Every structure is written in structure tokens, then in C-alpha cells.
Chain A
């Protein structure tokens, strides 16, 4: 049940045209009972709306998130439904957005804030690193910051400079931040609800090239699952998922790279090789258990991520798996990541992005002859 990626045909168009089309599609997808085909964008939007209905302290704010509904339309309709005191536009200043959210969270609110694009979040870096991440520790738990910082991230949309960064490592490297990244439509709903429920701050990294990916999901079933989890005090937080079972090697991926890994596994299957795909889902906390169980079973692994490989989340995953699974490994773990270059211009990005062929080359390299 992998999501369909609809972005390839839109990769050469501009973002606003694509978002306008997505908005139109989202508007058509009226709520109905039972399984329905919706986009990741709609799943995220529904998660916020449901959380706002459930809890009056949940607030949404950021740049253009109000009447416009966000440049990606993820907050579409929230101002209309909940009013300008619950979903509102702020002045154009990211440090201000995050810093104000810190104060609101200190004073009883649960802000869900949007950084318009990955690289636009950098002015807020000081607030995120020095306060969002550290307030709980600094005050020995007296101050909790239940806030979600949504970051549309990564490339593959033909975006211009500053619109395609994979910035997850900056946050994952900072103690005190949870870092989630959904790869499926259902996880968009599930994980954003869990992020909003979290008493700790969450960097919610949304793969923007998957905003328009579609899948059949039953929103009512997801709502029931959330309600049941809340009742039991359980959640899917911190758990990786087996996105595709296999036996010969493990592809470990997250966010925008999960569909690419699944496509590689499908191609490998045609050549008679069975690849298991792990969707990391939560970078922090990291699910060593699920990832290592898979690698111990298959004995071979490739880690796939769009971000630069040097000092990256992919590097961390390789290190962790190697420390824990060394005696089960038939070959060194390979990484397929972005090159260590600034994110390329639109016409060059396909050379940069981990693709099916590069993943299959890495798989071929896993010393099968031994």
C-alpha cells in the first residue's frame, strides 16, 4: 500500500501552480465515511483540525497560514473554521514565531507553528536550539513546551534555492528535540496527532514532495485508533515501520526517501532479490530495535536519505547499526545520500537525489559473492 507519487510531472513547474492544483484537489476530496483516497496534505490538515476541535489550547500560526491556508495549503480552512484567534498569520519573522510559541506553550497553549520552508527556519535556529530544546531540562521539568514546529523539507519539487534543504540533522543533533518525519498519508495524520499530543517539543519534518502523494485511508479508523491509543496511553511514537518485508537486505529510509526505497525494492524483486524496507518515521527517538531486528535478519543494509551524507542522520544510523549488528553483517553498510554540495538548482537536482539506480548499485555492492 505504498503512496502514489504525483510530483514527477510537476517537478518542472513552479511550486505555486502545483500547490494551487493540490488545493483544488483537496477541496474536491470532501469528507466521506470509509476508506477514501486523500493526499498527505489533506491528512495533515485533518490532523490539525481534529486536534483543534479536541483541545481549545491548540493554536496554529505562522506565515500565510491564515486566509491563504499556507503556501502548501496544509492549514487550509482552519482560520475559517476556528477563527483568527486559533489560526492566524504572524509578522514575517521566524524567530518571532518560534519565540512567541515558547511563551505561549509556557502559558498553557499547545502551539502548532509552520516554518514556511526548511531554509526559512534558520532565523529561528537560536530559539529552537537554546530554548525550545532546553527549557524542560533547564527547569528540571517544571516548564514543559508542548509545541510542534512543522517544517516542509527536502527537495524533488524543482524548487529554487533555500526551498529544498534537508535540515533534519541540525535538529536531530540537538538534545531535547523530538524529530518526526512521516512518509505515508496515514502517518501524516497519525504522527501529527501524536506530535501535538506530545508534552515535549517536536520538529515535524514534512517531505514536501510527498504533500500531493495519495493513498487510500480511512480517516475515521485513524481517529478511532488515536482515541484508543489516548485511552490506553500508547502511541506509535518512536517506532519505525516495516514498509515492505523482505529477506535479502534492508533498505533503511525516512521521509521523502521511503517511496524511492520502495521503488528500488520493487525493481530488485523483479531481479529476484528480496529487499526489506524500513521507514524510520521517528528520527528522535530512534527505534534501534526494529531497525536492528531487520538487519540481523537480512545481514545487509543500505541507508538512504536526501540530506548530505557527511555528519548526517544516515551516518548516525550506519554507526548505530554497525555497533549493534556487526556480527550479523555480511558486508559493510552502505549509504546512498545527497552529495556534499549545496542543494542544486532545479535542473541539476535529479543528479543529486538518491534514485532507484543508485540504490540498486549500492545493493549490488553488498558482497553477494562471498
Chain B
């Protein structure tokens, strides 16, 4: 659809009839609209914690919620990113401990979600991440050091969102979901087949913008995949205090969109579920909500003390469900991963870690005049005055330093 001035107004009822998810579901899957919108009765899991492929009947699928195994190439690409993601998380946490970075919200334990979110998208698609989604941002192709600028403290963002089609990692919860909705809406009006994947956490589903974003996307029938990483905690508050819905994926039906639950530590299932969601969105089936069940293995940030609100035994249970080790076992058993391949991947991960260590240890010069340069496209007279004032202060400081040096 192109935008033109002569596009005649359509009555609302006629529009609604053209955008009927019920019709879509019935024709695509031969199931009722309820069965399309409601998540499958169990979360989708393809590879269990022990690294073995579940028999088809035990993957949680049901009619209309069927998933095929990703290709070997997809699995290997994902595994490589998983290893890099884990290394990135641990390297960044170390840099915080060494005082090289102010803060790092680690996604340790959630790397499968991070990687799948980036890999399920095509080049022209958009990703809208949160502050915990640095690994997803890097997996999408953004330079690692530019990604970490936000946390290094020299600017509020380090990359051009348009370049890799990745929004700036967003701190105010779920506000970025609406930006994703707007990007998808603009693309749809121009007739482009862009899909947007917008991420948030379990706690964020309590926010008003979560509701507004899902509702807008559904009403305007937009190609947005809302991807909730349910890592069980919003800082210290467990999910039970955020929602008593049967699952977060069940919220979809209230907006007239399809929801699905997936094991968030099983990248095979994640690639399958998110891949299908992106495909459906691109085909015009409207938005979808995917909830991934995962766990934040570490504290919220370095400033948090997770021992105050959760038991070590709970953390230990999730160690056994680790997304990397199960994938390593699975791929090794399938004969796709051997020692040479593993070493090559580890080397790549180490190269990224080195890049981060070097990039973040570097003393980055800051430019004080940047304070004024980007507030508007053209600085106001008031900003020009303030910029001159700061320049004068700095010149006088420099002069007095050189006088001192001359004594």
C-alpha cells in the first residue's frame, strides 16, 4: 500500500473485516481463533536440560502450534553466538568489578533468548532492546565497544540505531515497545515487509506502556513480535507479585493476538518459536507475544545483592538448565560440534572479549561542547550562550594551569 492523498476513507467495520486474525488462523492452521491466540498448554521445549532432543510428542506442541527443527547451519550460528554472549557477559561483569565500567546488567543465563532475538530477524527488520539486552544488540551486528558506551559513561548511547536497525537500549520499562510499534506502523504504511521484535522483561509487563503497545499493535494489525524474557525477578520482586495471569503469554488473547510460551534456555525451541512468529508477522497475521521462561543467574546489577531475596538452592536448580551446556551436549551428540570447532568458536569469543577489554580500558576523551551540540538540530541562542560560557571557563582553567606550570 502506498500512501497517497486520494486513498479513500474506509468505514471502520470494513477495515476490521480485512484484518481478521480469526480468519487468518482458521485458514492457516485449521484451528479455532481461541486455539490460535491462546498459548499451547505447555511451554515449547525441543532440547531438554540434559541436551537430548525431546520426542516430538513431548515438545509441548499441539495442532496449530507446531514447530520444525532449525537447520544445522542455524544451530551452529546460534551456538557460536551463545558462546560469544556468555563470554561478553562475564567479561563485562569483570570490567565492572575492576572499575572500568559504571554498571552492567548481565544477561548471564539468558543468552539463548538474547541470541535468538537477534538471529530470528532479517536484515531490514528492527530490534528494540532493553538495558539487559547488550548481547542481543551485539548478536545483531552492533560493534561491541559501541554497544557498551552506554555503560562506560561517556554518552547515553554509542551507536546509530538506523545502521543495524537496533533501537538504543532502553531504560524506562516498555517505553521502547511503542517505538517498535511506530517503526512497524510506518513501514506498513509504506508497504514494506519490515518486522519489529521488541523486548521486555517479566516485571515490565506491569507497566502501562506494555498494555498500550500490545493494544496499538493489535488494533493496527502491525508486524511486531513482543518478546518477554521472564527471568523470574524484577530486581528483587518475583513474578507472583507482578501478575497472577496463567502465564504472561496468556495476556496476548486479551489483545486479540497470538501468544506462545517457550523454554527460554533452549535455543532450539527459541529459534523455532521466534522464527515462526516473525514469519507470521511478516505474512500479515498481525502481532504476536512470545514469553520465554528463563532465569537471571546473577544479581540485577553489581549494585544489587540477590542473596537478600532468593535462595542459593533456586539458583542451583537453574544452573542445571544452563542454555550453553545443553546446546554443547546436543550439538556434540549430533556430531556437529567437535574439539576443533569448539576451539575455533572459543577463539572468536576471546577476540570479542579482548576487544571489550581494550575498548573499555581506553581513556576516552570527552568533548564538553558535545553537551550543547545535539540537544536540537540547530542550537538555540540560549544554548549558544551557555556553550560560550563553558568554553570561557575551560579556557580560563587552561590558562591558569599553564601559568601554574610556568612558575
Contacts and interface: CB of A to CB of B under 8 A. Distances in A.
A2 interface: no
Contact of A107 (B3, B155, B187, B208): B187
B9 A136 contact: no
Contacts of B178: 95-96, 98-100, 102-103, 127
Contacts of A127: 175, 178, 209
A52 B178 CA distance: 24
Interface in B144-167: 155-157, 160-162, 167
B175 A140 contact: no
Contact of B5 (A81, A91, A123, A130): A81
Contacts of A84: 7, 9-10, 15
A345 interface: no
Contacts of B216: 90-91, 93, 96, 100
Given A138-B156, A285-B382, A107 B209 contact: no
A109 to B, nearest CB: 5
A137 B157 CA distance: 9
B352 interface: no
A144 B187 contact: no
Nearest to B189: A85
Interface in B370-398: 370, 373-377, 380-382
Interface in A88-141: 90-91, 93, 95-96, 98-109, 123, 126-127, 130-131, 134-141
Contacts of A106: 161-162, 167, 179, 182-183, 186
Contact of A141 (B177, B183, B377): B377
A56 interface: yes
B212 interface: yes
Given A107-B183, A127-B209, 17 more contacts: A82-B7, A84-B10, A85-B3, A86-B7, A96-B213, A99-B177, A101-B182, A102-B182, A103-B179, A106-B161, A127-B175, A131-B172, A134-B156, A136-B376, A139-B160, A176-B375, A238-B381
Contacts of B98: none
A246 to B, nearest CB: 25
A130 B172 contact: yes
Nearest to A175: B375
Contacts of A358: none
Interface string B1-36: 101111111100001000000000000000000000
12 contacts: A84-B7, A84-B15, A93-B212, A96-B178, A99-B213, A126-B209, A141-B374, A142-B160, A143-B161, A144-B377, A200-B377, A238-B381
Given A99-B212, A106-B179, A107-B182, A91 B219 contact: yes
Contacts of A53: 5
B9 A288 contact: no
Nearest to A105: B182
Interface residues of A, number: 58
Contacts of A175: 375
The 6 closest A-B pairs by CB, nearest first: A103-B182, A99-B178, A83-B7, A96-B212, A285-B380, A107-B186
Interface in A197-216: 199-200
Taking each of B177, B211, B373, B375, which has the highest tally of chain A beta carbons within 10 Å of its own beta carbon? B375
Contacts of A57: 3
A126 B172 contact: yes
A98 B15 CA distance: 23
A96 B215 contact: yes
A104 B182 contact: yes
A79 B215 CA distance: 22
Contact of A104 (B183, B370, B373): B183
A80 interface: yes
Nearest to A320: B382
Choose among B179, B181, B183 the residue with the greatest number of A CB atoms under 10 Å from its CB. B179
Interface string A170-208: 000001101000000000000000000001100000000
A66 B211 CA distance: 23
Nearest to B8: A83
Nearest to A66: B9
Nearest to A137: B374
Interface of B is mostly: helix
Interface residues of B, number: 51
B182 A85 contact: no
Interface in B349-374: 370, 373-374
Interface string B178-196: 1111111111011000000
Contacts of A107: 126, 182-183, 186-187
Given A79-B9, A140-B370, A109 B186 contact: yes
Contact of B215 (A82, A91, A137, A289): A91
Interface of A: 52-53, 56-57, 59, 67, 79-86, 90-91, 93, 95-96, 98-109, 123, 126-127, 130-131, 134-144, 175-176, 178, 199-200, 238, 284-286, 288-289
B179 A131 contact: yes
B73 to A, nearest CB: 31
Q: Taking each of B5, B9, B187, B374, which has the highest tally of chain A beta carbons within 10 Å of its own beta carbon? A: B9
B168 interface: yes
Contacts of B208: 95, 123
A286 B382 CA distance: 8
B349 to A, nearest CB: 29
B181 A99 contact: yes
A119 to B, nearest CB: 17
A194 to B, nearest CB: 13
A126 B145 CA distance: 29
A121 to B, nearest CB: 14
A107 B179 CA distance: 10
Contacts of B187: 107
A131 to B, nearest CB: 6
Nearest to A198: B377
Contacts of B175: 99, 126-127, 130-131
B172 to A, nearest CB: 5
Nearest to A52: B5
B214 to A, nearest CB: 10
A172 to B, nearest CB: 11
A185 to B, nearest CB: 25
A324 to B, nearest CB: 11
Nearest to A286: B382
A136 B374 contact: yes
Nearest to A88: B220
Contacts of B15: 84
A200 B186 contact: no
A93 B210 CA distance: 12
